[in-house]
Amino acid sequence: MFMTKKRLALIVVVTFLVSVLITLGGLCFALGLNAPKAAELARFFGVLRLVENRYVDGVDETKLIDGAISGLVQSLDDPHSLYMDENMFEELREHTEGEFGGIGVTMGFKDKKVFILSVLEGTPGEAAGLQADDEIIAVDGTPVTNYQPEEVAMHIRGDVDTNVTLTIHRKGEEGNRDITVTRAMIHVETAKGQMIPHTNIGYIRIASFSENTGKEFGAALDSLQQQGMKGLIIDLRQNGGGLITSCVEIANRVVPKGTVVSVVERDGTKQEYDSDLESPICPIVVLIDGNSASASEILAGALQDTGAATLVGTKSYGKGSVQMVMPLFHDDGVKLTVAKYYTPNGRSIDGTGIEPDVKVELSENATTDTQLAKAKEILEAKLAQ
């Protein structure tokens, strides 16, 4: 007896569906997915197949998956997590492994806006007139809203001696302005020190935490001690952070023995960075502001928690997360937030910032540095005791 065509077609369809379910079931088992997660995975694949088979035009399957991954990462609503396609990931590798042109600014991301946290001295950004707290509206005419926040820096970087035009909005001004900057190799001294005239107080400004900052800070500190320094002001204002290794290297010169910072992952895995300094070197005051971020907050928080310093200024930025870069299978990659920083007393920096011990605002039109003056006053009182 022969089967009818309808029955044969039904058997083929059922066999196909069973095969798909078995395949999906095996995949879910291999990935350790429970029933709800398996259902969500099936929902995704269902939409993927619908688009592939029924969309009015032909589709690029790789492009569909790239878009899905990008949307997944963007849904985290984390400005520091980013999906990078092949071109963007290659740019990141070039910037990380080789030399590239920049303009000498550090940036922060808040409320889906991009701000300049600091402008390094002697850089093209300073020469062009960029200022801390400038909001970047567009890069070469493309609104930053077209990019994920972390992408903006990659579009500002580029070949040496090429130009980039930033559209910025400056606080207190109407409208926006375009500023064109010529990229250059950025080689700056990130830690500089001097004795405050007519005092025994040393002052060290740390502009960022780069590869050589620890050595530069150490050299400045040694020089000040040789000049008879009795108290120290560390200026971390407009310091957007940088390498945690440089931060810990500096902490070993000023933070008493013990934990400097803990890096804690989602599952509770903790990595601690410690200082071996046996005792405080002298009374210290640290200057912070709303643009002191990341490694700046680690150092300030450690000095505050251990009682080794008094913090003066305004609340810091609140960037206390750690990112990792994971290459994928098509020369693309994902930059993902995987941990958070905690101070020695267990305070989370991320989204909260560091509150100063003594709050001092610095008005925009101030003719004197009231925060620095307060730091000096506090140190002189301590040294007089």
Catalytic residue numbers?
294, 305, 319
Q: Which helix (H) or strand (E) holds 178?
A: strand 177-182
- Which residue stretches of the chain are H helix? 5-31, 35-54, 61-74, 86-97, 124-128, 149-156, 213-226, 244-254, 295-305, 370-384
In this structure, what token pair is assigned to residue 288?
């912070």
Amino acid code (one letter) for 91: E
Report DSSP state, residue 284.
Answer: E
Place of tokens 């810990």: 248
Kindly provide the residue ranges of all beta strands, DSSP E only, lying in 223-363, ordered along the sequence: 231-235, 258-265, 270-275, 284-288, 309-313, 321-327, 333-342, 358-359
Q: Which helix (H) or strand (E) holds 107?
A: strand 105-110
Cα 64 from Cα 58, distance rounded (Å): 11
Cα dihedral sign for 212, 133, 185, 88?
A: positive
Cα 265 from Cα 314, distance rounded (Å): 29
Cα 59 from Cα 44, distance rounded (Å): 16
CA 121 to the chain's CA centroid? 21
Question: Does residue 204 contact residue 235 with C-beta atoms inside 8 Å?
Answer: yes
> Which residues touch 10 (CB under 8 Å, ≥6 apart)?
none
Cα 69 from Cα 76, distance rounded (Å): 12
